[in-house]
A and B are shown apart, each in its own frame.
Chain A
Amino acid sequence: MGHLEFDVAHLFAGGLVLVSFMLLYQDRLYALLNVFALQAVVLALSVSWQAYVQGAPHLYVTAAIALFFKAIIVPMALHRIIARLGVHREVENVVSTGPTMLAGMGLVALSMVVMLRVTSAAVPLAREDLAFALSVVLLGLLMMVTRNNAVSQIVGFMSLENGLILAATGAKGMPLVVEISVAFSVLIAFIVIGTLLFRIRERFDTIDAEALDRFRGGRR
């Protein structure tokens, strides 16, 4: 394992974490989608680098799915949904940017501490990949928690999935079955979200998830 291979993999994985941070503070939906597309591109680069380094051509499929599906098709579709719904463009953060960023840093530190400690036996490349992947997963979770808008929750969920794919590709030789199925289930998941959104649009004037909460009714 040469230095270059390690450094490039490191660069891409670290880049993914960085973009996750960028997602945290976007307060406009369109900008959020653009940053998400950027994250998917970085993921595609990272996965194809892994495919090259590991000599595992099937990973290129995963990379291609990340590039075409997540970086192009999904953001475009969400763009259209936002436009058609005429949703207000501001994202209402439940928690403001400062504390969110601080919490994000805390989560990244946490995942570094946890993952680097428990994987001391593993190959360095896999170790750090895993630590970065957990950071991306946790940042995605954080985003889902701090936003109350349906579209940004979807984006948060997809960025979480990006972290999972980073982890899966970093684990050398993980069976192809799983990668394809991961990508495939993301697709299914998206269809579900799409239909849900459609129904929400059918029944609601807003896709603000907080508005959904109001219909809970206090009496249940």
Chain B
Amino acid sequence: MSAISINGVTLILAIPAAAAVLLGLLPGYRLSARINMLASLATFLAALSLFVAKPAPGPYILVDDLNIVFIVLNTFVGFTTSVFSASYIGHELESGRLAPAHLRFYHAMYQVLLFAMNLALAANNIGLMWVAIEIATLTTVLMVGLYRTRAAIEAAWKYFILGSVGIALALFGTILVYMAARPTVGEGLDGMVWTILIDHVSAFDPALLNVAFVFLLLGYGTKVGLVPLHAWLPDAHAEGPTPISAVLSGLLLNVALYAVLRFKLLLAANAGAIAPGPLMASMGLVTLLFAGFMLYRRRDIKRMFAYSSIEHMGIIVFAFGMGGPLANFAGLLHMTMHSLTKSAIFFTVGHVTQVAGTQNIADIRGLTASHPALGWSLVLGVVAIVGLPPFGIFMSEFLVVSSTFARAPLLALPFVAGLLIAFGALFLRLQGMAFGAPAVVGKPSHASYAPMTSHLLLVLMAGIYLPPPLVAWFQHVAALLG
């Protein structure tokens, strides 16, 4: 670590960190929004460079085939969200919901969040990963409370309390992993380095690892939004600024999921430890079914899509829990597709709530008539997210279902039921919002359509044709996941 060389990893960490400092100092939201976009774009490009030149793993930083997928996805959605954020925030400023001072804070925090998420994904040290996820949690707490309304403060408080309890449990699990590693690996730094742990894990005490995994699953599972630890998620999505909802759903949940996956790998490599798969699969299934039913009772549009995120996290965790090359492949694909689709939906919803002036579903009507571009984006987004062909989510859900039918047909039934329940709920609500007599007429929207269009196009493309190199890459990673 003595000589810090400039490579892709240092760049994806250094750019957001430097941008955060800069944005904290600069006044003026137009300039800040541009710098925010530029920095996010630069980070994305740096992340792409990781495909070409992969730095060697050190005691703190690791880039391997698994996390590179997460990092590239993370920086890409981070970039498109910053583009969306520029147009969204401008409107918030005009309508007086946010003061310029808040914006400076907002932009700085946005970059800190990207930094923390990249750090968590690239960390080779389980302690460092924990710290990064904690920073990410704290920044999002601050962002959720940005509007300072009663509801926003309540949401931030709830998120903070539940998030920190989860984080605390995860730290306890991390300490237990270190305790399990110590007799074999020895004292000091090595006991926390993931690459060293995975080499020696077969000699660890299985009982201690089991307990550790329970804590880690509960702790990071809180951040993934697994039922019954999901209570913070809908509030945090509904009350914060919409770009943050997009980042939360599309990225932060993935980061927590990534942490769970890392520890799952650790457990799977130890013959004496419990199999983490069934635990994850059952939690995922419960999450899917619960969120599916909860979708029917939503009155708030952002809250509804937050429950949809919980549902999809359930699907992904279920797929990874089932394990095996096919289900893992489906899980990875679904995670990517969900990130892209859900953030596109939140981009649309952000503009929709701005033109409609409300988040109440009942008051949003006939969007395809009054704002055709927004309305049809919403329709397309929902069609994609419920898993209709030809979008990519159809393919990943199909893969999960077929691999489950092949191996555990009884589990496939509740799984398909959960998918159908969620499908019904989302379409029921979409109908009122998209069609019928419009509620608002003649209020133009200043939406930037590039972010959502690019996301939906990618999802569409993935549904029709996945390029063979990408398939090979995902298959390779799926095999790594065991």
A residues neighboring B (CB under 8 Å): 114-115, 117-122, 126, 130, 133-134, 137, 141, 144, 150, 153, 157, 160-161, 164, 167-168, 171-175, 177-178, 181-182, 185, 188-189, 192-193, 195-196, 199-200, 202-204, 209, 212-213, 215-217, 219-220
Contact = CB atoms under 8 A, between A and B. Distances in A.
21 contacts: A114-B211, A118-B210, A119-B207, A119-B208, A122-B208, A126-B179, A130-B176, A137-B169, A167-B175, A171-B175, A173-B191, A174-B175, A174-B191, A181-B127, A181-B128, A202-B148, A209-B157, A212-B153, A212-B154, A215-B151, A220-B303
Nearest to A119: B208
B457 interface: no
Given A177-B125, A178-B174, 12 more contacts: A115-B211, A121-B183, A157-B164, A157-B165, A171-B179, A171-B182, A178-B127, A203-B153, A212-B150, A216-B151, A216-B154, A220-B303
B413 interface: no
Contacts of B183: 121-122
B195 to A, nearest CB: 15
Interface in B237-279: 238
A168 B164 contact: no
Contacts of A137: 168-169, 172
B191 A175 contact: yes
A117 B205 CA distance: 12
B164 A189 contact: yes
Contacts of B211: 114-115, 118
Contacts, number: 134
A134 to B, nearest CB: 7
A175 B191 CA distance: 8
Contacts of B168: 137, 157, 160-161, 164
B131 A171 contact: no
A174 B178 contact: yes
Interface in B182-197: 182-183, 187-189, 191-192
Contacts of B205: 118-119, 121-122
A182 B164 CA distance: 12
B179 A122 contact: yes
A167 B207 contact: no
A111 to B, nearest CB: 10
B172 A199 contact: no
